[in-house]
Structure 1
Amino acid sequence: MQFISVVSVPVSDQVRARDFYLDKLGFRLLAESTFGDELRWIQVGIPGAQTSLTLVNWFDEMPPGSLRGLVIDCEDLEKEYQALTERGVTFLGPPSRQPGGLFAILSDPDGNLISLRQTGS
């Protein structure tokens, strides 16, 4: 094994989710195409990162908004928190010190929760 390449994020509306991840969070569109019986593959990622996200609506076992525990590292969490808040991203609260670093948890349009983390200091 080498690394995790793609994590599936369960969403109800793939286009709305794509726009949120691109416009609000600053991800880049890596792939968008249809496959199978009119299914859609939308893959987004952080510039320079190995792991990307695919915005899925075809797994019955993964209802929209059920993602928890995804952590994205940041160099300056306070700066990221401020910039994302100004872009309309909803956080559960301000950054707080937790075991493992400084964290701030954001919610996407479906209620998937993503933790931003700054380690060190």
Structure 2
Amino acid sequence: MNIRHASFVTLPVADLDRALRFYRDALGFEVTADLQMPPGRWLQVAPEGAQTVFTLAGPGMGDFEPGSARGIMLVTTDVDADCARLTAAGIPVQGPDELPWGRMASFTDPDGNGLMLLTEKEGF
């Protein structure tokens, strides 16, 4: 196998503009693509410098159920600071909790897609 990385992860959403505001404004992601293509708008966001981007799939962009994505892990250098920022923005956060592999917290986007923040412990 010669796989080097994942190109994108699809996040099913009901409203592209609402999702864009969340990922760009609340999480600080950059817009990497925003194009009109058949069958609809192709919108991708990512943390600065990331190899893997998130495709926000709205109505008409496949057979996706908004809010059905789970287990999306976002690695951060400071989970506590990021949790404080999300909470200040009105986004409910569970954690952070100390786990064997690091400090981890979870939250959802406006559609209910499950996201996690992780500050990894050294050696994991």
TM-score over 0.5 (shorter chain): yes
Structure 1 residue aligned with 2:75:
73
Structure 2 residue aligned with 1:24:
26
Q: Which amino acid aligns with 2:91?
A: V
Instruction: Give the fraction of aligned pairs with identical amino acids, expressed as a percent.
Output: 37
Match of 1:15, SS state, is helix
Q: Which amino acid aligns with 1:16?
A: R
Q: Give the total of aligned pairs.
A: 118
Q: 1:90–1:108: 8 Å Cα contact kept in structure 2?
A: no
Structure 2 residue aligned with 1:48:
49
TM-score by length of structure 1 reads 0.91
C-alpha separation in 2, matches of 1:89 and 1:46: 18
Q: CA deviation at 1:83?
A: 1.3
Match of 1:33, SS state, is strand
Q: Which amino acid aligns with 2:97?
A: S
Structure 1 residue aligned with 2:62:
59
Post-superposition, which runs of at least 4 consecutive aligned residues in structure 1 deviate over 4 A? none
Which segments of 5 or more consecutive residues in structure 1 lack a partner in the other structure? none
> Within 5 A, what are the aligned runs for 1:1-121?
1-37=3-39, 39-57=40-58, 58-60=61-63, 62-91=64-93, 93-120=94-121
TM-score by length of structure 2 reads 0.89
